[in-house]
Amino acid sequence: VAVTVAGRFGRSLLELGGNNAILVNADADLDMVVQSAVFACAGTAGQRCTSTRRLVLHSSVHDQVVSRLGKALESLMAKAGDPVEQGVLYGPLHSPASVEKYESAVARAQAEGGQIVFGGKRIARLSSSGGYFVEPTLITGLKPDSPLVQEETFAPIVYALKCDSLDEAIRINNSVKQGLSSSLFTRDLSNLFRWIGPRGSDCGLVNVNIPTSGAEIGGAFGGEKHTGGGRESGSDAWKQYMRRSTCTINYGKDLPLAQGIKFE
């Protein structure tokens, strides 16, 4: 689409998905991290363009976050079911094709040496009636440059990755082709400003201490790189649908010329 539109010098607004990451620094509030990860990884059964696909965890908190998140995802299963029913927080995937992609990604992860902390299969009590219910899945042991980690799987699968510094975490965040949403959890202002600055996240949505999904309304929404570019909503909502003209009007009897030129 972008190439075709560019052929007539037109503008395009593309929304091509994201391989979004939550970065957890050593000083992060882990209670907030776990709640945010559950919301962003399992919310809408992982079927948002802003869903979290990667957790980049400082090595000093990696094991603790993984353990707590695994237990939190397990407890969520008590609230899985028909989304229109009261009290249900976790629903099904969209289609049989979505389930196949989920199962394929889980199998690939295991083949590459990944360990499933929680999930990895269909929810038996719900799938038996024909629903497309799968468990939210947390996987460790894969490298950040793994082909599987580098691509987006539109399902509730998240890969926990280790890092030893904020700089390394930022490199991991920026290493994928997409650039939609990202979030850093830290209580250090210097880390915060590094993250949102020119050497920080290369995504269109750069968050701090909130999930990668759910805070977009009212903001200029969109991504960079293979996510497509362009913005919708927020301050830039009008730009994709209008042309901009600079108008200079002389309403006097004299003709002021640039550089003070006079033809006398």
Quote the strand ranges of 98-247, DSSP E.
115-118, 137-140, 157-163, 178-179, 181-185, 205-208, 224-225
**How far is the C-alpha of 175 from the C-alpha of 147, rounded, in Å?**
12
d(CA 260, CA 55): 60
Q: Which of 15, 112, 151, 168 is catalytic?
A: 15
- 106 near 116, Cβ under 8 Å? yes
- Is residue 120 within 8 A of residue 68, CB to CB? The reply is no
| DSSP per-residue codes, 20-70 | EEEEE-TT--HHHHHHHHHHHHHGGGG-STT-EEEEEEETTTHHHHHHHHH
Q: List, in sequence order, every residue forming a beta bridge with 57; answer none if it has no partner.
A: 24, 162
Contact assessment for residue 104 and residue 97, using Cβ atoms and an 8 Å cutoff: no
238's tokens: 């009008």
User: Do the Cβ atoms of 91 and 83 come closer than 8 Å?
Assistant: yes
Q: Is residue 15 flagged as an active site residue?
A: yes
Cα dihedral 68, 69, 73, 75, rounded to 10, equals 20
Residues with catalytic roles: 15
